[in-house]
Amino acid sequence: MEEYKVTVATGTSEYSGTNNYIYITLVGENGESEKTLLDNPGLDFCRGAVDDYKVCSPAPLGPLLLVRLEKQRYWVEDNWFCRYVIVEPPGGAAVLTFPCYRWLIGDIKVEIREGTAKKLSDDTSLLLAHRKAELQERQTIYRWCVWAPGIPKCIDAKTEADLHQDVRFDNEKRSDFERSLHYALIELSLKKLAIRFGRSWCDLDDFKRCFWKLKSPIAEYCMEHWKEDWFFGYQCLNGSNPRMIQRCKKLPKNFPVSGDMVQGSLAPRTTLEKELKDGNIYLVDYSVMDGVPPNVIRGKPQYISSPICLLYEHPDQGIIPIAIQLAQTPGLDTPIFLPKDPPLAWLLAKIWVRNSEFQVFQLLSHLLRTHLFVEVFCVATKRQLPAVHPIYKVGCVCGIYLFPPSMKNYFYRDHCLLLWDLMVTVSCFPFLSGLSNKLKTREELITLLSVVIFTSTAQHAATNNGQFDWCAWVPNTPCTMRHPPPTDKDAVTMEMIMDTLPDVSQTCLEMAITWHLGRPQPDAVPLGQYPEEYFTEAKAQKVIDSFRQELKEIEDHILKQNEGLELPYLFLLPSRIENSITI
């Protein structure tokens, strides 16, 4: 009789444990062990438990291929989350780890493989059959859906309840998610009620009445500096949407800015033509907003613009805006706003640009280019790659980015390049050698995987984590506009600005949502930390350790770079980047 020592680990989140019957069978090349009820004295499979058992076989099983787990109801159905199974064969053979990390729901039988990454050509007929069965099951669970023409496919689920439990929020995260939103709405509703019985938004200082507990150092800095041109330019480089800015060598035909218009904004003894040639002129163009139908809120129409903003890298002031057109078609009703215009007209033009920034940042840079792209690759991975596949273990998620031009104090770009170089050269890909795939070269695969990991980690952190900082002072980045863009510079008044900016309830909602989504998540796992240990190979562990060390060096570099800065840029600190999108 052969005796195997088996260790079974239960999940650590709420309700992971079970009081149902759990059976195990070891499957080897030479046969199967006895089906064994896992039952020690006392309670088994409690939340977070790591329990040891003995499993017997009448004959040697040979190399172990699979572990079969079966759950059967005791009195009532009680789901179970299994983290992993470790098997120690008799005779001092190598200990084997079988990663699971899934829920067993109902009376169910599942088979899990040993954790070493394997290619299709490495598998025996039994394991090939296991691959096929695993993917058939997953393709039934994770189905494609076309939500609307022209956007990426998504998973076939209308609500979170339609998803398999393996990919839902755990109970603690769901409770925290609901509590935090409730807290924010209650917090701001109290302010809204207080304001209703006082003044409405009569002047810009009234927005300060929303700053109470929901605030941050950067949000307060915004409140003090949002009108300043240098701060407007700084946000084009390091705000929540730092990839819109592009170097401009030739002005667009639909943006008739002349040298005389902007001469007063340039450094002495230079011209617009010269600065264009020298590469010191930049453009932020929101043409993607052109033709988008505006919303209607409580029966009142809202308004949208598609501005073009010209910026200049001033030798003393940094990146500053020097001309703004609030539509794509020039004309008498579409003036070009300039810093020398009446101050309120120039301020309102910048507010309109920032409103377009809010729309593009939330819907395109954030939702589409991280979340929805990531969803496509997550679903495809679940449907097409078995758990033993090395790329499944890496965890593919995607979006492709080109890094914008270099300029002074472009912290977002500089930090992204540090992380990108690390992901290409050090991260978990060198042990994929020899992987057969449809890409042309191994280098192309490495680049693709680096891009997709970068998108779901660093890029999402850059767009998501600072949204409350930049949007909490609502005049800096208003979520909606209640009057159309101005057509007459001289007609702009403070009353017009206040009537255009979000009202009290819209202001409170913007603050609540951006705080709720941008706050640090309580279950956040930093980049480089992997609670679910799918890679069991020593070579993979060595690469992961090296990756963590390099991340620590980048962290130290960024902290040192930010010492003494009045406005630090810390959104891409590795310790603040989650290892996947979780919100």
Q: Which residues are annotated as a binding site for Fe cation?
A: 366, 371, 460, 583
Contact 307, 325 (CB under 8 A): yes
Secondary structure (DSSP) of 388-424: TSHHHHH-------------TT-HHHHHHHHHHHHHH
CA–CA gap between residue 540 and residue 535 (Å, rounded): 6
CA–CA gap between residue 269 and residue 146 (Å, rounded): 57
Is residue 177 packed enough to be buried (19+ CB in 10 Å), middle (13-18) or exposed (0-12)? middle
CA angle at 295 for the pair 289 and 300, rounded to the nearest 5°: 135
Is residue 302 packed enough to be buried (19+ CB in 10 Å), middle (13-18) or exposed (0-12)? middle
CA-only gyration radius of the chain, Å: 28
Q: Which residues fall in the annotated binding site?
A: 17, 39-40, 78, 366, 371, 460, 583
User: In the chain, helix, strand, coil percent, each to 5?
Assistant: 40, 15, 40
Q: How many contiguous H segments (helices) and E segments (strands) does the chain have? A: 16, 18
CA dihedral angle for residue 530, residue 533, residue 535, residue 540, rounded to 10 degrees: 50
Q: Which residues fall in the annotated binding site for Ca(2+)?
A: 17, 39-40, 78
H/E segment holding residue 104: strand 96-104
Secondary structure (DSSP) of 375-393: HHHHHHHHHH--TTSHHHH
CA–CA gap between residue 327 and residue 117 (Å, rounded): 54
Half-sphere CA count of 34, side-chain side, radius 13 A: 13
CA–CA gap between residue 412 and residue 238 (Å, rounded): 6
CA angle at 288 for the pair 284 and 292, rounded to the nearest 5°: 135
